[in-house]
Amino acid sequence: MLQNNLFHDEYVRNYTNASFLVKDGYAFTDGLFSGYSASARTYNIASWSYDTDPATSFANRDMTLQNPRSVFQLMKQHYSRYTPEMVSSITGIPVADFNKVADLVGQMGKPDKVMTIVYAVGLTHHTTGGQLIRSGAVLQLLLGNMGRPGGGMNAERGHANIQGNTDHAISWEILPGYLKIPAPGQKTIADYVAQSAPKKSDKNSWNFFGTNYSKFMVSTLKAWYGDAAKKDNEFAFNFVPKPAGNASWMTIYDQALKGKMEGLMLSGMTAASIGPDSNQVRQALGNLKWLVIMDALPTTSSEFWHAPGVDASQVKTEVFMLPATHWIEKEGSFVNSGRWSQWKDQVLPPQGQARHDHWILADIFQRVKTLYKTQGGKFPDPIMSLTFDYKDPLKPDLDEIAREINGKDLSTGKQMTTFANLKDDGTTTTGDWIYTGSYLDTGNLMKRRQGVQDPKANDPTGMGFYPNWSWSWPLNRRVMYNRASADLNGKAWDPARPGITWNGSKWVGDVPDYPATMDPHDPNAYLPFIMNGEGVGRLFSNGMVDGPLPEHYEPIESPVQNPLHPTNSASPVAFLYDKAAGRPNRFGTATDYPYIATSYRLTEHEHYVTQHVPHLVQLQPRPFVEIPQELASEKGIKSGDQVRVSSKRGKVEVLALVTKRLGPMTVAGQKVYQIGIPIHWGYIGISADSDPSHGRYWLANALTPFVGDANARTPEFKAFLVNLEKI
């Protein structure tokens, strides 16, 4: 695309940072970007900064894209190594097939063409996961497809409401609405904003997020700490916990293995099955003092202490199993991958003694609060002042919480209608600024149901927006960054597929991701990507910790050396938990484990809960692994044979399914086989109940490595090494 000038020139020049100049010192040599420290296994990302004008601190740009220090030229040089032959050598895709796809994709850079990339989150399950997603986004920026209807880099998230619960920040590194969790050393809101908010790096950048960061943060603190959040105490900023370092999934179990984690609460999520290296995780669960499971059905975590082969009397963990209600026994919203927040009814009353998760949490919290009141203890202030403005503090209504999330104007008592009106003086609240506008005084917009029963009336643009079906964040906008769907004059790149267009006095179409009446011809008109400091899409980014440009690295366990740079074959910054903790090495090599394995789901199951659903168990009754035909015949394995697949960390003993759909492939000049491992089984469920070993060796994640992507610490579920034997 770069060599044949197939990119969308006007878009790339004006809507991406292709023209930005990068500071001297940035380099890429033999698989390493500049700024690398081998001892710390980290990069100093300051060496990937823009070349700036000292007077304004804005980035210097070259709109001709010819400057050798421009992002465009650096990028062109970086990717010149990726010839079709090299891509084939890395991926195993035959050159002819790759060229066929590349030709098709290359045509999508014409303004009247658009393509989308939809990925299941398995793409994140690599030590290069973050960069794999970025590589798709970079490609889409080059094609001019970001911010356009039918374009984008779209994640299909794997559970009903991961989106909503990520938005609401059940994640160590964020507060609601993707505000960063404060770091140690920040004493004031100003410190926090200075270190967290994006900084304006071009004169036409709006930098909307950076500009409003303190308003969103202060309004959230007001929602949480009410009257205790005052101007003269920095709105109770010191109440917010400040983590010492990464506190994500694998860190929790790493801390438990080190004896530092005392208690764990799990809701609708089973640690023993879902994370990598299940055997090590089960050991970690046994190292806890106490474990609370909130679930409707038994899980491999609630029952880990008496799993097959475990001597329960030796497990010292105190375990609580709390029956929680199912999704259909409560109302509230589920947010889908397209950010549509869809409200659901309570259809059934709770079964048995089941209680809602939030009622269980409210009750535990109130009991803890009473203990602090009567006994005292460490810093009880945040517990004492946390707002509980619900009719029944033990049984908050989800409707009440939805209104709290939207936020209100404290001076009028009215619901906020837009986050643009939030303030940082303590007069407004919001539980999550990106949801402001979802629940107005006139009602809950997430309940709206004007769908395909009348497409003409309900989808006036014909683009499938259905603006009165549910509500999507932010502000019911259906395509984010939609200013990029129109050219510099405000005309749709493709008149047949408009996002928003300028009609001479305002932007029309989707809800504009842009000031509604900002004339595109105004020399001060904002750039289209309003949330970052540049105002444009980042082809080159210092927002990632493992490189400003996506680069291919082999998985941590791989049978081949990286053809691009064999001396730095795997990601030099991937986080190796066991090694960092001084635990014995749990990574294998191709000598002992010669085959690549990858884990995945089947259509008929959803993770582990469907092991309790009779019809789905009938459709996919037994665990199996998929084995390439050629390898199977080498090993004398037929479909239906019992096989053992083992890694350095554990094994599964399941049925073989011999298939033509997996390899072999030729990678880096070698013939390699790949074994496919569906993840759904374990020692709990209908299938396990009828198995003589009770599913003792059925946990797919007994095989997977305890290693994390440097950015997100997502485990490498999708590529690791195993051995295969017929039993």
Which residues in the 619-678 window bind other proteins by CB under 8 A?
Answer: 619
Q: State the CB neighbour count (10 A cutoff) for residue 377.
A: 11
**Of residues 48, 72, 209, 239, which one binds other proteins by CB under 8 A?**
239
Q: How far is the CB of 133 from other proteins (least distance, A)?
A: 13
Q: Which of residues 432-471 bind other proteins (CB under 8 A)?
A: 432, 449, 451-453, 458-459, 464, 466, 469
Distance in angstroms (rounded) separating the CA atoms of residues 336 and 470: 11
User: Residue 307 interacts with other proteins (CB under 8 A)?
Assistant: no
The number of residues that bind other proteins (CB under 8 A) is 157
Binding range to other proteins, per CB under 8 A, among 6-14, 200-208, 259-267, 483-491:
259-267
User: Residue 373 interacts with other proteins (CB under 8 A)?
Assistant: no
Q: Which of residues 184-203 bind other proteins (CB under 8 A)?
A: 184-185, 187
Q: Which of residues 111-130 bind other proteins (CB under 8 A)?
A: 124
Q: What is the largest CA-CA distance in the chain?
A: 77
Binding mask 504-543 for other proteins (x = CB under 8 A): ----------------------------------------
Name which of 263 and 566 has its Cβ closer to other proteins: 263
First-residue to last-residue Cα distance in the chain: 50
Contact 161, 398 (CB under 8 A): no
Distance in angstroms (rounded) separating the CA atoms of residues 606 and 269: 12
Binding mask 676-705 for other proteins (x = CB under 8 A): ----------x-------------------
Q: Cβ-count burial of 321 within 10 angstroms (0-12 exposed, 13-18 middle, 19+ buried)?
A: middle
Locate 118 and state its tokens.
């939809």
What is the rounded radius of gyration, in angstroms, for the C-alpha atoms of the chain? 27
Q: How far is the CB of 386 from other proteins (least distance, A)?
A: 4
Q: Which of residues 159-188 bind other proteins (CB under 8 A)?
A: 159-172, 175-176, 181, 184-185, 187
Contact 652, 644 (CB under 8 A): yes
Contact 110, 493 (CB under 8 A): no
Distances (CA, A) of 470 to 138, 165, 408: 31, 17, 21
User: Residue 230 interacts with other proteins (CB under 8 A)?
Assistant: no
Q: How far is the CB of 393 from other proteins (least distance, A)?
A: 12
Q: Helices (H), strands (E): how many in the chain?
A: 19, 28
**Of residues 94, 377, 460, 640, which one binds other proteins by CB under 8 A?**
377
**Of residues 712, 719, 722, 724, which one binds other proteins by CB under 8 A?**
712
- Please report how many Cα atoms fall inside a 13 Å half-sphere around the Cα of residue 231, on the Cβ side: 6
Nearest CA-CA partner of 17 in 75, 104, 98, 91: 75
Q: Measured at the alpha carbon of residue 307, what is the angle toward residues 305 and 311, in degrees to the nearest 5?
A: 60
**Of residues 82, 119, 365, 600, which one binds other proteins by CB under 8 A?**
365
Each as own residue / partner, the long-range contacts of residues 502-508 (CB below 8 Å, 24 or more positions apart, any chain) are 507/483
User: Residue 264 interacts with other proteins (CB under 8 A)?
Assistant: yes
Q: Which of residues 39-98 bind other proteins (CB under 8 A)?
A: none
Nearest CA-CA partner of 593 in 556, 627, 635, 559: 559
User: Residue 393 interacts with other proteins (CB under 8 A)?
Assistant: no
Name which of 108 and 272 has its Cβ closer to other proteins: 272
Binding range to other proteins, per CB under 8 A, among 63-71, 132-140, 151-159, 490-498:
151-159
Name which of 1 and 386 has its Cβ closer to other proteins: 386
Q: Measured at the alpha carbon of residue 630, what is the angle toward residues 628 and 633, in degrees to the nearest 5?
A: 105
**Of residues 715, 716, 718, 724, which one binds other proteins by CB under 8 A?**
715
Length of the chain: 727
Name which of 313 and 411 has its Cβ closer to other proteins: 313
